[in-house]
Amino acid sequence: MPSEFNLSAFLPYRLAVLSEQVSRRLAAEYGRSHDLSVAEWRVLAHLLGSGAVSVRDIRGRVNLEKPRVSRAVSRLERFGLVNKAPGDVDGRLVAISLTDRGRAVLDEIIPEVLGVQRTLEEAVGPEELATFFRVMERWHAVLDREQAEMPHQAATLGDRRQGPDRP
Amino acid sequence: MPSEFNLSAFLPYRLAVLSEQVSRRLAAEYGRSHDLSVAEWRVLAHLLGSGAVSVRDIRGRVNLEKPRVSRAVSRLERFGLVNKAPGDVDGRLVAISLTDRGRAVLDEIIPEVLGVQRTLEEAVGPEELATFFRVMERWHAVLDREQAEMPHQAATLGDRRQGPDRP
DNA sequence: TCAATATTGTTGCATTTGCAACGACCTTTT
DNA sequence: AAAAGGTCGTTGCAAATGCAACAATATTGA
């Protein structure tokens, strides 16, 4: 009888709580100052490193569902932070790119969020930090592998995987 | 010009992605087998360790907003997993407790979720794991302190803190 | 070449969420 | 003891979310 269980010490719970806490702290930066959602912030941040990209490109690298990216981009466009042009080679694709205004906003936000990151990084030793990242990557890999291995018990109902769309 | 920024290496982003991934994996256990949401699972899990508690008690220890707990409890009651009785000493409070059925469901779920935890724990060394937990706690403390220190720039609009309800 | 199939991005829709307002109840003050 | 103020849990409502369906466009194969 495993009536022994402590939620507070349960790894997934701890992880979720910390992640929510960090997200809140972060959203307090870009949300308050520029009225951006998490999705919008991620899209902007990704665009900084890449040139013009499609919704599909963004989706994969930013870990957001398709409709969420699409809506984030639309809103960012309304605010003049990104540009949406029909792709000239493939008519379905949309070429999304940062505007100058978007770049300016990022230049304001990035130092702030880097400040949050620095606060966290400085609160622990460098080796601890390195270990933390290493563990995160390890788990990421483990979960990816697990997920890839177990679409045999699929079709059970309530299957959360994405439809016929995954690359 | 800090046009240097890599989202993939950004700690809060990494944390959020990992947390979502773990949550998905976990929800695949209790969600698929017993049709429970995260909130419902957390409430159940907490009840296992405590006796009869109020919504307010749960809220604090389980990191969920008041309405979310309330709704989770209602649904759990509909399914016969918890019991809701009016508190006899204070008429506002509600005494929430596990039913036998709820305990039985937990006895099914807990081994499964502990299995997930074990998978993760075994993927890294014991000292790495200890470090990971230590870092999480450290950051948790840092963010708590920060948040407590900065209700001076409140009233900016879009303030995410909870209304006149926090203890 | 034209039909059949696949992919891209958007929209609809049902559900979930966060926040505020509310009613019910308790406590403190006068 | 009544009024004023505070706390608890629920409900309403607007916004966000996840998923499927869709139109538009590409690609493939006969």
Burial class of B57 by CB neighbour count within 10 A (0 to 12, 13 to 18, 19+): middle
- Give the tens place of pLDDT for each residue, A99-144: 999 999 999 999 999 999 999 999 999 999 999 999 999 999 999 8
The pLDDT of residue A153: 41
- Alpha-carbon separation of residue A167 from A21, A52, A59, A60, A162 (angstroms): 32, 20, 11, 9, 10
Instruction: Give the Cα separation of A130 and B154 in Å (integer).
Output: 35
Q: Give the residue with greater pLDDT, A164 vs A51.
A: A51
Please tell me if residue B145 touches chain A, with a CB cutoff of 8 Å. Answer: no
Quote the minimal CA–CA distance from A30 to chain B in Å.
Answer: 12
Nearest to B123 among A16, A48, A142 (CB): A142
Looking up tokens 């508690």, which residue turns up? B53
Burial class of A34 by CB neighbour count within 10 A (0 to 12, 13 to 18, 19+): middle
H or E element: which one contains A34? helix A11-34
Looking up tokens 């699929």, which residue turns up? A154
The pLDDT of residue A33: 85
Percent of chain A, pLDDT > 70? 86
H or E element: which one contains A77? helix A66-78
Residues 6+ apart with CB under 8 A from A117: B10, B11, B12
Do residues B120 and A142 touch, judged by C-beta distance below 8 A?
A: yes
Show the tokens assigned to B43: 């409430």
CA A89 to C1' C5, in angstroms, rounded, equals 21
Task: Give the range among A17-21, A68-72, A140-144, B157-161 with minimum mean pLDDT.
Answer: B157-161
Quote the minimal CA–CA distance from B71 to chain A in Å.
Answer: 20
The pLDDT of residue A7: 93
Best mutation target, A1, A8, A14, A15, to test chain B (most B CBs within 10 A): A15
CA A16 to C1' C6, in angstroms, rounded, equals 37
Q: How many CB atoms lie within 10 A of CB B158?
A: 10
- Give the tens place of pLDDT for each residue, B31-61: 888 999 999 999 999 999 888 999 999 998 9
Do residues A56 and A73 touch, judged by C-beta distance below 8 A?
A: no
All structural domains of chain A, each given as residue ranges with its CATH number in brackets, are 7-124 (1.10.10.10)
pLDDT band at B23 (very low <50, low <70, confident <90, very high): very high
Do residues B121 and A11 touch, judged by C-beta distance below 8 A?
A: yes
Question: How, if at all, do strands A82-86 and A94-98 pair?
Answer: antiparallel
First to last CA, chain B: 43
